[in-house]
Structure 1
Amino acid sequence: MQPLRWKWLKTLLMILGAGVVIVGLFFVAANLWVLTRTQGRIEHRVAQCTKQPVGIVFGTSHWTRAGGRNPYFEARMRGAADLISQRQVSHLLLSGDNRTQFYNEPITMWRDLRGRDVAEADMTLDYAGFSTFDTLARAREVFGVERAMLVTQPWHLPRALYIADALGLDATGCAVSPDHASESWRLEAREWIARVSMLGDIYLWGRQPYFLGPREPLRIVPPDQLLPPAVPADRGESTSD
């Protein structure tokens, strides 16, 4: 009887081991599929990012759990301000979580960008960007965005671009990296899991955005029709007649 039990145990362990290997291979393959489908549309320098009418900036917390300024938030705001000043985009859609009155990512982004001299008219706030999927679905269905530049960290962009493709949004990625980020490996590891989950959202259970609401199309002036920034007068010369 004892040898029979051992035989069944060995068989069970072999089946479990094979299952782990299959799941692992699927996990890696799914991530490689997403990466290979999107990497060609990601630029890592703002000046090289393909011009688009709209820059979609994904919300994140202003502060870290330790109480310091979030370097990922800082990188996104710095990149968004540079894109506007360099005429890489003509409008910014600031999309983030505002699920409670005590946490408002879009307003925080708006205030930060106003402090960087981004004009109020160049920004629209989306208060229902509860996730990457919701942000992109609302950009397409609520704000009428058809072409956009996605502004976020390089490890986030492949998933965001893949979702954009699935939703019919013509998008490119502009990667913004923080100067210092001690825990980036944790976020990158979590992103590998999020990519697999995202494929399930798209192909298996047909995920829908949490909230859409009425259509509010953006009024966008194409970047190639924007006037060049005015050259300030030389302070060393008199401008009087």
Structure 2
Amino acid sequence: MSSSTSPTSPSTARAAAAWAPRVVVGAVVVALLLVGGTAIRVWQLGRVDERQPVDMIVVLGAAQYDGRPSPVFRARLQHALELYEEGVAPRIITVGGAAAGDAFTEAQAGEQWLVENGVPGQALLPVDEGRDTYESFEAVAAVADQRGWSSAVLVSDPWHSLRSRTMADDVGLDATTSPTKRGPVVQTRETQLRYIVRETGALIYYHLTHGSSDFSDPGLG
């Protein structure tokens, strides 16, 4: 006695065909909610200054040219200097490595600028390890653990605040944010929108892969 597989009944095929568009629409809606919700959070935290007394001010690096911070980096350093002068923390940590062929790391360029603007050398610590933001935070966390520091206020551009704080929390730092409100990144609404979109994608990528998707923007310098 032989057996055979019954073909899919017409009613089953019709039901599957009816549900397929709903599944696609549902997936699109979920994706839009995820992207939209993340973008709103990026925008919201970028508008908040969480400064409070902490162990260290951590300045995230940006482009530098032969030891001279770019306008984007200089805006971050200026803001960190103001926090230091207000007594938010007794020390500033500068972070960031070097691109191929550079004589200075971002951390060194930041340290040099702060010294030139009145911060004593003993209040500065350059951490130039790590190939991206996440690895830089890992290096900062290791140094902080060795020295008994735990709390930090992070200084970067507004739209980088949420991703930075997320990474800092993941490596064990008790982090808040105080973004700079000056510099090329916040000059126009078009630039702000572009960076919100890019940071939204970068944060979603980080949550999905736990990898950093850092990028530079030579148009801003």
Q: 2:195 maps to which residue?
A: 187
Distance 1:167 1:42 in 2: 22
Please say if residues 155 and 179 of structure 2, whose CA atoms lie closer than 8 Å, have aligned partners that are also in contact.
yes
CA displacement, residues 103-133 of structure 1 (integer Å, 9 cap, x when unaligned): 6211211221122111111111111243221
* Partner SS state of residue 124, structure 1: strand
CA displacement, residues 30-89 of structure 1 (integer Å, 9 cap, x when unaligned): 455x559x9499417xxxx201121110000136xxxxx743212111111122222211
- Kindly indicate whether residue 142 of structure 2 is the aligned counterpart of residue 141 of structure 1: yes
Distance 1:41 1:186 in 2: 16
User: Which amino acid in 1 is paired with 2:134?
Assistant: F
User: Which of these residues, 20, 25, 30, is aligned with residue 28 of structure 2?
Assistant: 20
Deviation at 1:27, TM superposition (A): 2.0
User: Which amino acid in 2 is paired with 1:115?
Assistant: E
Q: How many residues align?
A: 188
User: Which amino acid in 1 is paired with 2:128?
Assistant: Y
- Kindly indicate whether residue 176 of structure 2 is the aligned counterpart of residue 159 of structure 1: no
Gaps of 5+ in 2: 1-13, 213-221
Distance 2:208 2:192 in 1: 25
Q: 1:105 maps to which residue?
A: 106
Distance 2:74 2:99 in 1: 22
User: Which amino acid in 2 is paired with 1:52?
Assistant: V
CA displacement, residues 115-158 of structure 1 (integer Å, 9 cap, x when unaligned): 21111111111112432212222211244241111111221111
Q: 2:83 maps to which residue?
A: 83
Change in Cα spacing, 1:71 to 1:104, as seen in structure 2 (3 Å) is same
Q: 2:129 maps to which residue?
A: 128
RMSD across aligned positions (CA) = 3.4
Distance 2:154 2:111 in 1: 17
Distance 1:30 1:153 in 2: 17
| TM-score normalised by L of structure 1 | 0.65
Residue identity over aligned pairs, in percent, reads 20
Please say if residues 47 and 158 of structure 2, whose CA atoms lie closer than 8 Å, have aligned partners that are also in contact.
no
Q: Which moved more, 1:191-200 or 1:14-23?
A: 14-23
Gaps of 5+ in 1: 1-6, 64-68, 209-241
Which structure shows the bigger proportion of residues in helix conformation?
2
Q: 1:235 maps to which residue?
A: none
Change in Cα spacing, 1:84 to 1:153, as seen in structure 2 (3 Å) is same
Distance 1:72 1:141 in 2: 27
Please say if residues 72 and 177 of structure 1, whose CA atoms lie closer than 8 Å, have aligned partners that are also in contact.
no
Please say if residues 153 and 178 of structure 2, whose CA atoms lie closer than 8 Å, have aligned partners that are also in contact.
yes
Q: 2:55 maps to which residue?
A: 53
Please say if residues 150 and 173 of structure 1, whose CA atoms lie closer than 8 Å, have aligned partners that are also in contact.
yes
Please say if residues 42 and 199 of structure 2, whose CA atoms lie closer than 8 Å, have aligned partners that are also in contact.
no
Q: 2:215 maps to which residue?
A: none
Change in Cα spacing, 1:101 to 1:123, as seen in structure 2 (3 Å) is farther
* Partner SS state of residue 175, structure 1: coil
CA displacement, residues 166-198 of structure 1 (integer Å, 9 cap, x when unaligned): 222111111211155343332221011111112
Change in Cα spacing, 1:12 to 1:190, as seen in structure 2 (3 Å) is same
Please say if residues 97 and 104 of structure 1, whose CA atoms lie closer than 8 Å, have aligned partners that are also in contact.
yes
User: Which amino acid in 2 is paired with 1:120?
Assistant: G
User: Which amino acid in 1 is paired with 2:181?
Assistant: S
